[in-house]
Amino acid sequence: MLNKFTKTVAASALLGLSITANAGLFEFSYLFQDGSSVTGSLTGDANGLYIENVDNVSVQFNGVELSTQLWDVAFVPSGTGVNGDWWDNRIDGIVSFDASLNNFLFINSDYPTDYNFSAYFYMINDNGYNNAVVYNTSNSASDGPINSNAWSIAEVSVPEPGTLGLLGLGLLGVVASRRKLNKA
């Protein structure tokens, strides 16, 4: 018959091994020709040259946070987006390690359904457009064409959930061995 401690260890082992990887954390930056800079982070899944399932976007313009919540929107050709706009909030933006493949808008409204925005950062490489633009109510910067060498995005090293589960198992093992020593 299994004691309570053995059952806890077994359950922890199964949990640690069954947890799937969470989205990675990425940090990005873009340096505009006028010296302005955008930095930020997002979560997503690296897939070749692209980062998919983008979420939790944070953007700073010259060190100032653009907004507490940013939406991820895609640029679409020929004004075929929502309400005939060039942007479509039903489609995820394209974020890439290669600046020439980026096609995203990070904006603080659900644009173009909600036109009440006060800050955004976008990079477009589509339909003859090649721009990087950042805007808030007090300042803005733009590059056209985009300087690919000024774009950087990299995954930040974060322990995988499965690794954390295995670390928990190790701690349980240490507790078990100390219990044995204390009983002896």
Specify the pLDDT at position 37.
98
Q: What is the pLDDT of residues 30-45, one digit of tens each?
A: 999 999 999 999 999 9
Q: pLDDT tier at 183 (50, 70, 90 boundaries)?
A: low
CA 25 – CA 51 distance, rounded (Å): 10
What's the chain's Rg over C-alpha atoms?
23
Specify the pLDDT at position 178.
52
- The answer to whether residues 147 and 131 touch, using CB atoms and an 8 Å cutoff, is no
Q: What is the pLDDT of residues 104-149, one digit of tens each?
A: 999 999 999 999 999 999 999 887 889 999 999 999 999 999 999 9
Specify the pLDDT at position 10.
44
CA 143 – CA 135 distance, rounded (Å): 12
Chain CA centroid to CA 118, Å: 21
